[in-house]
Chains A and B, each alone.
Chain A
Amino acid sequence: MQIIDRQKINNQIEDLRKKYGEDRSALMPILQDLQEIYGYLPDVVMQETAHAMGIHPVEVEGVASFYSFFRTKEKQGKYVIRLCQTISCDLAGKQNVARQMENELGIKFGETTKDGMFTLEYTNCLGMCDQGPAVMVNDRLFAKVDAEKAFRIITDCRRDFLKSDFPEVVPSDVKKAGPILDHGIKPVESLKKALAMPRSEIIATIRESGLKGRGGAGFPTAIKWQLAGAAKGDKKYVVCNADEGEPGTFKDRMLLYEETDLLLDGMTIGAYAVGAKKGFIYLRGEYLYMRKYLEKALEDRRTQKLLGGNILGYKEFNFDIEIRMGAGAYVCGEETALIESLEGYRGEPRNRPPFPVDTGFQGNPTIVNNVETFIDAALIISKGADWFNEHGTDKSKGMKIFSISGDCELPGIYEFPFGIKVSELLKEAGGINAKAVQIGGASGHCIARKDFHRTIAFEDIGSGGSIIVFGPDADMLQVAKNFLEFFVEESCGQCTPCREGNPKLLEGVELLEKGRCSVTYLNELKKLGETIQVASKCGLGQSSPNAFLSIVENFKSEILSPAVAGKLTKEEQYAR
């Protein structure tokens, strides 16, 4: 039996290696497909994969255990139900959905039903924050789930889920479009224009526009492209970061689906400018439902000679794009972790320098850009630098797509110029009663009313576009707790401040919750937070205490109130 099994597994692995390639970078997609077949990754499957790829089984297990979407212990249910545990879905009533699901299935989260039909899991941000609570069942997403809808979803699965009358793709909720979203540019227009330009001219136009990366860090796109273009190397790569894992961000989900052509134009323009022959779209595992759609778009472009050899008849311009799926690790949005993941390793951030523009995918020059950045670049080529930089501020040019969720009347996707005041944004989204706003997702800052006059721009409060609104009744300690739980879970564990520090902060929040945290200890926690910020290796750790620290600063009396409310004596409050 064992022998036959191994033979079968081997044949499957060989087929997958033909499909995805023979080198290490094929490991993730091979494991993803094997998990599809077996429902999990049994030891024997991992061993055979290692054997076929000529690596140690521990390597394969190391990769499988890193990503939350891989299962190595027990078979997952036929239907894996993942309920989003991010703060926006919390605010929208996640608890009721969770209770309904547990009752209906008779299992707890983290368990699988005895009949092997259902696995129930929590997951981090599903990118549906404006339409929460959100649930993912296998590769399908469901928005605005309440107890009744949860019941219907489970019933549908029991009957045969595929016949469900829920929509395949949850519609996007664009509340306000502007020059970017109302661009009026036809597919391929930008690409055609770009290919008639010298490569340096493309980058010069992007430079003139002042475009800075839309993924959050705001690095000037032209510099990145110029450095990769100038770097030595025959093999260069273009990577679209479609990992969109920042809690509260969902604009890339909309852009990937509704502006696919512009995105692919932007990536192809980038490839032409830097001299790349191959591109990847690193699509987060949570957006699996979009894969088929994107694959089809790529296939269509191949038939139209927009991808492949001699693109649009330009000799010597060969470029193709492959989609690679993430597997539920937020840290893989960090560009060097993303590259590690593409190469088939654990998504652990690298030291920098060297930078990806020089030493990226498999040691070759690589540009990694956000979905929105590529779209903006394509539009800038079509419409010119001035069209773009007439909006925004001096240091943050152009329009930005925002994802707004939480306690506001009109959650959804908004296009605003950089430099917009927080108060203006709240007015548009119907959130003027807000007591706090989290800007930039879990890694961003939580600001209070006194700071609503501040602007969203790289020189003031920078953001990849995630805005979560907290109403007058929001419990800020719970907000801090939610974000810290997120970081504790998502830290890759490579460096001590982030791995050990965040659980300490979370413990502190739990003490605060019980009213057992003294002011003195809170001050120590603050110092610890500041140490994590400066001593962590990558952006995840460096930004992980931001929310906690800003909540402590802005809502100190609120979070200390359990202690003040009589649980601690004055002496105890200042003890420790």
Chain B
Amino acid sequence: MAKILIVDDDIDFVSAVKLVLTSNGFDTAVAYSRQEGMDKFVSEKPDLVLLDVMMDEPDDGFVLAQSLKKKSKDTPILMLTSVGQVTGMDFDKDSEMVPVDDFEQKPIMPNHLLEKVNQLLGN
């Protein structure tokens, strides 16, 4: 069973996503900050990471994505962010600065999320 790590400082969002994923048969691990995300990545060895951008610092998601890819470049990362709505910021995948496999805007519909997750896991 694939394990998915959710890294986001929004507790409500994390529990909602966790519910969607577990009820669809996925294993989950959660982290609420950049540092915790890194620790859990090492201890839990997830197959996929769902990653927020703005946590304690506005660039935490990018920084963590860079570190994660250095540790294991084959673990896919799906970046989930509401950054655009809050600040008008617009980001794109970029192997150097934003090394993520896909991008999705929050809020995201459960079906769409599951579709993305399956796609990234190669299911």
Question: Which positions in A face B, CB cutoff 8 Å?
Answer: 198-200, 204, 207, 220, 222-223, 226-227, 229-232, 275, 353-355, 357-359
Q: Given contacts A200-B66, A207-B63, A223-B58, is CB(A230)–CB(B94) below 8 Å?
A: yes
* Cβ contacts A to B, 22 pairs, < 8 Å: A200-B66, A200-B96, A204-B66, A222-B59, A223-B57, A226-B59, A226-B62, A227-B59, A230-B62, A230-B97, A230-B98, A231-B89, A231-B91, A232-B90, A232-B92, A275-B97, A353-B87, A353-B88, A353-B89, A354-B87, A354-B88, A355-B89
- The docked-state distance in angstroms from the alpha carbon of A35 to that of B17 is 63
Instruction: Tell me how far the C-beta of A519 lies from the nearest C-beta in chain B, rounded to whole angstroms.
Output: 45
The answer to whether A355 touches B87, judged by C-beta atoms less than 8 angstroms apart, is yes
- Which parts of B33-82 form the interface with A (CB within 8 Å)? 57-59, 62-63, 66
- Which residues in A have their C-beta under 8 angstroms from that of B1? none
Instruction: Tell me how far the C-beta of B7 lies from the nearest C-beta in chain A, rounded to whole angstroms.
Output: 17
Taking A199-B96, A227-B89, A354-B87 as known contacts, 9 extra A-B pairs with beta carbons closer than 8 A to each other, sorted by chain A number, are: A200-B66, A204-B66, A207-B63, A227-B59, A230-B59, A230-B62, A232-B90, A354-B88, A355-B87
- Which residues in A have their C-beta under 8 angstroms from that of B63? 204, 207, 226
- The docked-state distance in angstroms from the alpha carbon of A252 to that of B94 is 35
- Which residues in B have their C-beta under 8 angstroms from that of A229? 96-97
Q: Given contacts A220-B57, A230-B62, A230-B97, is CB(A358)–CB(B92) below 8 Å?
A: no
- Which residues in B have their C-beta under 8 angstroms from that of A226? 59, 62-63, 97
Cβ 8 A contact of A232, one of B57, B66, B91: B91
The answer to whether B58 touches A231, judged by C-beta atoms less than 8 angstroms apart, is no
User: Residue B109 at the A interface, CB < 8 A?
Assistant: no
- The docked-state distance in angstroms from the alpha carbon of A198 to that of B96 is 8
The answer to whether A230 touches B91, judged by C-beta atoms less than 8 angstroms apart, is yes
- Which residues in A have their C-beta under 8 angstroms from that of B16? none
Instruction: Tell me how far the C-beta of A369 lies from the nearest C-beta in chain B, rounded to whole angstroms.
Output: 16
- Which residues in B have their C-beta under 8 angstroms from that of A359? 88
Cβ 8 A contact of B86, one of A220, A230, A232, A353: A353
- Which residues in B have their C-beta under 8 angstroms from that of A231? 89-91
- The docked-state distance in angstroms from the alpha carbon of A220 to that of B89 is 18
Most central of B57, B59, B63, B87 by chain A CB within 10 Å: B59
- Which residues in A have their C-beta under 8 angstroms from that of B62? 226-227, 230
- The docked-state distance in angstroms from the alpha carbon of A354 to that of B89 is 7
- Which residues in B have their C-beta under 8 angstroms from that of A355? 87, 89
Instruction: Tell me how far the C-beta of A391 lies from the nearest C-beta in chain B, rounded to whole angstroms.
Output: 22
Q: Given contacts A223-B59, A230-B59, A230-B62, is CB(A200)–CB(B97) below 8 Å?
A: yes
- The docked-state distance in angstroms from the alpha carbon of A530 to that of B63 is 38
- The docked-state distance in angstroms from the alpha carbon of A195 to that of B122 is 37
Closest B residue by C-beta to A226? B59
Instruction: Tell me how far the C-beta of B86 lies from the nearest C-beta in chain A, rounded to whole angstroms.
Output: 7
- The docked-state distance in angstroms from the alpha carbon of A2 to that of B12 is 72
- Which residues in A have their C-beta under 8 angstroms from that of B66? 200, 204
Closest A residue by C-beta to B61? A230
Instruction: Tell me how far the C-beta of B102 lies from the nearest C-beta in chain A, rounded to whole angstroms.
Output: 15
- Which residues in A have their C-beta under 8 angstroms from that of B59? 222-223, 226-227, 230
- The docked-state distance in angstroms from the alpha carbon of A520 to that of B98 is 57
- The docked-state distance in angstroms from the alpha carbon of A353 to that of B87 is 5
- The docked-state distance in angstroms from the alpha carbon of A207 to that of B91 is 20
Q: Given contacts A199-B97, A226-B97, A230-B98, is CB(A358)–CB(B87) below 8 Å?
A: yes
- The docked-state distance in angstroms from the alpha carbon of A147 to that of B119 is 80
Instruction: Tell me how far the C-beta of B88 lies from the nearest C-beta in chain A, rounded to whole angstroms.
Output: 4
- Which residues in A have their C-beta under 8 angstroms from that of B58? 223, 227
- The docked-state distance in angstroms from the alpha carbon of A231 to that of B88 is 11
- Which residues in B have their C-beta under 8 angstroms from that of A230? 59, 62, 91, 94, 97-98
Most central of A199, A200, A230, A353 by chain B CB within 10 Å: A230
Instruction: Tell me how far the C-beta of B77 lies from the nearest C-beta in chain A, rounded to whole angstroms.
Output: 13
- The docked-state distance in angstroms from the alpha carbon of A38 to that of B39 is 67
- Which residues in B have their C-beta under 8 angstroms from that of A227? 58-59, 62, 89
Most central of A220, A222, A232 by chain B CB within 10 Å: A232
Instruction: Tell me how far the C-beta of B51 lies from the nearest C-beta in chain A, rounded to whole angstroms.
Output: 13
- Which parts of B90-107 form the interface with A (CB within 8 Å)? 90-92, 94, 96-98
Closest B residue by C-beta to A352? B87
- The docked-state distance in angstroms from the alpha carbon of A67 to that of B39 is 54
Instruction: Tell me how far the C-beta of B67 lies from the nearest C-beta in chain A, rounded to whole angstroms.
Output: 9
- The docked-state distance in angstroms from the alpha carbon of A232 to that of B103 is 13
- The docked-state distance in angstroms from the alpha carbon of A377 to that of B57 is 20
- Which residues in A have their C-beta under 8 angstroms from that of B96? 198-200, 229
Instruction: Tell me how far the C-beta of A366 lies from the nearest C-beta in chain B, rounded to whole angstroms.
Output: 13
- Which residues in B have their C-beta under 8 angstroms from that of A275? 97
- Which residues in A have their C-beta under 8 angstroms from that of B57? 220, 223
Instruction: Tell me how far the C-beta of A217 lies from the nearest C-beta in chain B, rounded to whole angstroms.
Output: 15
Closest A residue by C-beta to B99? A200
- Which residues in A have their C-beta under 8 angstroms from that of B92? 232
Instruction: Tell me how far the C-beta of A340 lies from the nearest C-beta in chain B, rounded to whole angstroms.
Output: 17
Instruction: Tell me how far the C-beta of B98 lies from the nearest C-beta in chain A, rounded to whole angstroms.
Output: 5
- Which residues in A have their C-beta under 8 angstroms from that of B87? 353-355, 358
Most central of B62, B63, B89 by chain A CB within 10 Å: B89
Most central of A198, A226, A232 by chain B CB within 10 Å: A226
Instruction: Tell me how far the C-beta of A410 lies from the nearest C-beta in chain B, rounded to whole angstroms.
Output: 40
- Which residues in B have their C-beta under 8 angstroms from that of A200? 66, 96-97
- The docked-state distance in angstroms from the alpha carbon of A430 to that of B89 is 49
Instruction: Tell me how far the C-beta of B58 lies from the nearest C-beta in chain A, rounded to whole angstroms.
Output: 6
Cβ 8 A contact of B90, one of A198, A220, A358: A358
- Which residues in B have their C-beta under 8 angstroms from that of A207? 63
Closest B residue by C-beta to A353? B87
